[in-house]
Chains A and B, each alone.
Chain A
C-alpha cells in the first residue's frame, strides 16, 4: 500500500497511542528468554528479541479456550457460543512466525472454517519486523525460505538505524497509524538505506540445510523405514515441548467441564501434541502410534510432507524453537540433514554394487 517511517524516539508515543484503542502485546524479556505478553508502555517491549518460548499463534489459537456454554433444564439443552476476543495488536512478529500464521490461516479457514480462530484472526493486527541478525543457533529460516515476507502482515517494520521503515500493507495496518503524528513519509535517502539494510542482511544468515528444501517431501517418502526414527525414539521423552512451542502446530483436544449441578457447564479446547503417549489412542484402547519412534516419524512427516500435500505449505518454518526446547537435543535441521546423508550414502552403496 504505502511506505512510511517512524522515528525510534517516537516509539513510546506510538505504543501509548495504540494502548488507548487496542490490547497491545509484544516480546518481553523473562529470566533470560522472551515471551509475548501484554505491553503497557514501550519500556517493556524488546523488539530486538531473538525468539520467544511460544510463538504469537497463542493469540489466534489460545492454549486453553472456552468454546460453548451449555445448560440443561431437564427437557432441553441450551447451548451458547462463547467467543472472547478484543482488538489486539501483536508487535514484533518475526517473518518465520508470519509464514506460520499463513499456514494456520489455510488450516482454519479451509472447509468448515473455525469460528473461534476466525474471530481472533479478524480482531488481530499483525505488526511484523524484519530480522537483521540470526536469532538462535537452532534456527534455519533461510533454508526454509521464511527469512522475508512480501505479504500476510498489516504493518512490517525494518530497523534502519534511527528509524523504523514501515511497510503498510492493509487498511488495518493503516488504522494503527491513524492520529499518530510522528509517522512521516520516507525520504529517498531513507529508502536507499532501507534497501541496503535488507539486502546486506542475507550474508549474515547461514544456509543450514544440506539439500534443497523442495526435495524434502520426496526425501521423507523414501525414508519411512529409516532406522533414524528408532534412534530418535530412544532419546525422545514424549514431553510434547517441541509441538507446544511450534508456530505451525495446531492440534487440540476438546473436553467438557460441568459445575456441581451437573446440568450446566462449558466445552473447552486445549492444545494437544502428537508426541504424547495417548494422542492416537482410540475407543477400545488401541493406540495406533504407541511407540515414540512412530510418533517422531509422524511429526517429521507432518512437517515435511503431509502439510504440503494437504495445504501446499511446509509445516516447518525453521524457527528453531523445538530444537531449543528439546532436552533430548532433537533438532529438525540436524535430523533432516542426517536423513539426507543416509539416503545419499545408500544410493552410493547401491551404485557400487
Chain B
C-alpha cells in the first residue's frame, strides 16, 4: 500500500454532475493528485482498481440490483462518503416515491415498463451505513476540497448545520422574498454559499434539511407569499421528498402511537 490513500468514485442513479464537479476540482486543485491515488473513476479514466480505502458514491439506489453493488463497496472501503443530493437524499429521483410505482413505470417506459426492475428511490444510507455526506445538486467544489483535507488529516468531514440564509445574508444578497419570489433557504443546509439566491432565484432545498427545521413556520410564510398548498407541496418534494415522507411517516406514528 502506498502512503497516499486510495480513492474510488462510483455512481448509481444520477446525472454524474457531482463527479463532473470532482473533475473540475482536480483542474482547479491539481495538487490533489499529489496526495491521493485515484484507483477507480469511470467518468475520468479507464483503469479500474478495487483496492481502495475511501469510496465516494454518487447516485441513489433505485433498483434491487444496486444493493449488492453498494454492499460490495461498503465491504471494501474503510470510509464511504455520499456524494451529492441523489446519494444523500435520494435526489429528484425520489419524487416518484409519492406516486404509484406501476403508474410511474408505465408513464416513463410505456409498454416496455415490465423490462425495468426500478423501485422506490432511496439515499444510499438506506442501503449501507455511510461515514459522511457531501450534499448538493451538484456538490460544492470548495466543500469537496475541504472534505478531502479533513480526511487526509484524519478528521471528520464538517458540513454546515445552519441554513442557507446565513451565507445569503453574509453575502448581502437581497432576499428573494423581497423580490416577489419564494425560497427554501431558511430550512435548507448551507454550504453552497447561497448560490441560487445570489443569482436571484429561490433555494430549492438541494442540500437537504437543517437538523431542526421549522417547517410549519416556513409553510405559513410560503402561503403568505402566495403559494397554494399544492405549490408548497411541490416545493417541499422536489429535492426533499424522501425527507418529507420520512417526516410524514414519523408524524403519523406519533398520531397513532
Contacts and interface: CB of A to CB of B under 8 A. Distances in A.
A64 B169 CA distance: 12
A94 interface: no
Contacts of A31: 174, 178-179, 200
B214 A292 contact: yes
Interface stretch (A96-104, A118-126, A204-212, A231-239): A231-239
Nearest to A239: B165
Interface in B91-135: none
A35 B149 CA distance: 35
A327 B169 contact: no
B170 interface: yes
A276 B169 contact: no
Contact of A325 (B166, B175, B185): B175
Contact of A237 (B29, B174, B187): B187
Given A240-B165, A240-B169, A53 B174 contact: yes
Interface string A220-252: 000000000000001111111100110000000
Nearest to A235: B217
B78 interface: no
Contact of A240 (B166, B171, B212): B166
A239 B186 contact: yes
B245 interface: no
Q: How large is the interface on B (under 10, 10 to 19, 20 to 34, 35 or more residues)?
A: 35 or more
A235 B146 CA distance: 34
A74 to B, nearest CB: 16
A350 to B, nearest CB: 33
A51 to B, nearest CB: 12
B32 interface: yes
23 contacts: A32-B178, A33-B174, A53-B169, A53-B174, A54-B169, A54-B172, A58-B172, A235-B214, A235-B220, A237-B163, A238-B162, A240-B162, A240-B163, A240-B169, A241-B175, A260-B31, A262-B152, A273-B162, A276-B166, A292-B214, A327-B175, A328-B217, A328-B221
B161 A278 contact: yes
B162 A276 contact: yes
A273 B169 CA distance: 12
Interface centre among B32, B179, B217 (most CB of A within 10 A): B217
A237 B218 contact: yes
B210 interface: yes
Interface in B185-229: 185-187, 200, 210-212, 214, 216-218, 220-221
Contacts of A30: 174
Contacts of A278: 161-162, 211
B212 A239 contact: no
Interface residues of A, number: 35
A54 B174 CA distance: 10
Contacts of A83: none
A237 B217 contact: yes
Nearest to A242: B169
A260 B153 CA distance: 10
A239 B170 CA distance: 12
Interface centre among B34, B169, B173, B212 (most CB of A within 10 A): B169
Contact of A271 (B170, B185, B214, B217): B170
Nearest to A31: B174
A238 to B, nearest CB: 7
B169 A241 contact: yes
Contact of A273 (B29, B166, B171): B166
Given A54-B169, A54-B172, A260-B32, A236 B214 contact: yes
B124 to A, nearest CB: 25
A325 B186 CA distance: 12
A30 B214 CA distance: 30
B149 A258 contact: yes
Given A241-B165, A262-B149, 10 more contacts: A53-B173, A53-B174, A237-B187, A239-B165, A241-B169, A245-B169, A260-B34, A260-B35, A278-B162, A327-B175
Given A53-B169, A244-B166, A277 B161 contact: yes
A237 B165 CA distance: 10
A329 to B, nearest CB: 9
Nearest to B165: A239
Interface string B57-75: 0000000000000000000
Interface centre among B31, B35, B172, B177 (most CB of A within 10 A): B172
A243 B210 CA distance: 19
